[in-house]
């Protein structure tokens, strides 16, 4: 697979190299300042610290960390783009329809109770029977809809 965004990879590498160079230059600068003999007496309880060393250390660490973080952020953005591309290709592929066993697809046969003479039906009971029949038909239809629905 080809490496995408080569310019961003190069820029990231340059930021990392620049971060390491800044740390090395900071160490050299601290050594130069200490070698000049400008040691102030008892700064923060130590005779080694000078007024120039502390800002050099802070500047070196902060700038090196910021540059290294920018380099890592560029790599992170490239990885996010790559993961998004992979997800898009997987989602755009045709989906496989699952194989449903015949025993699930075919509903069991509904058997009617033994024939009995129908009692005289009042108009109120007739509407209840129609409601029950409509409810049964709706349940059968919803069962068929569930079975016919494509899963994934």
What pLDDT score does 13 carry? 96
- pTM of the predicted model, to two decimals? 0.53
pLDDT tens string 71-88: 999 999 999 999 999 999
Using CB atoms within 10 Å of the CB of residue 56, give its burial: 0 to 12 exposed, 13 to 18 middle, 19+ buried: middle
Q: What token pair was written down for 128?
A: 């209840």
Q: How many Cβ atoms are within 10 Å of 51's Cβ, its own excluded?
A: 10
Band of residue 152 on the pLDDT scale cut at 50, 70, 90: very low
Q: pLDDT of 22-75, one tens digit each? A: 999 999 988 887 777 655 555 555 555 556 788 889 999 999 999 999 999 999
In this prediction, residue 104 carries a pLDDT of: 56
Q: What is the pLDDT of residue 76?
A: 95
pLDDT tens by residue, 86-143: 999 888 887 776 666 655 555 556 666 666 666 655 555 567 778 888 888 888 777 6
Q: Are 28 and 53 in contact (CB under 8 A)?
A: no
């Amino acid at each position: 697979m080809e490496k995408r965004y080569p310019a961003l990879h190069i820029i990231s590498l340059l930021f990392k190299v620049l971060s390491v160079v800044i740390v090395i230059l900071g160490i050299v600068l601290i050594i130069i300042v200490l070698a000049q003999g400008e040691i102030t007496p008892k700064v923060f309880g130590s005779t080694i610290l000078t007024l120039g060393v502390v800002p050099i250390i802070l500047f070196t660490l902060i700038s090196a960390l910021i540059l290294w973080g920018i380099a890592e952020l560029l790599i992170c953005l490239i990885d996010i783009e790559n993961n998004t591309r992979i997800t898009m290709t997987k989602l755009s592929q045709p989906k496989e329809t699952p194989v449903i066993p015949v025993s699930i697809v075919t509903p069991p046969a509904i058997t009617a109770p033994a024939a009995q003479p129908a009692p005289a039906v009042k108009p109120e009971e007739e509407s209840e029977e129609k409601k029950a029949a409509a409810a049964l038909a709706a349940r059968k239809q919803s069962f068929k809809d569930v079975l016919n629905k494509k899963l994934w």
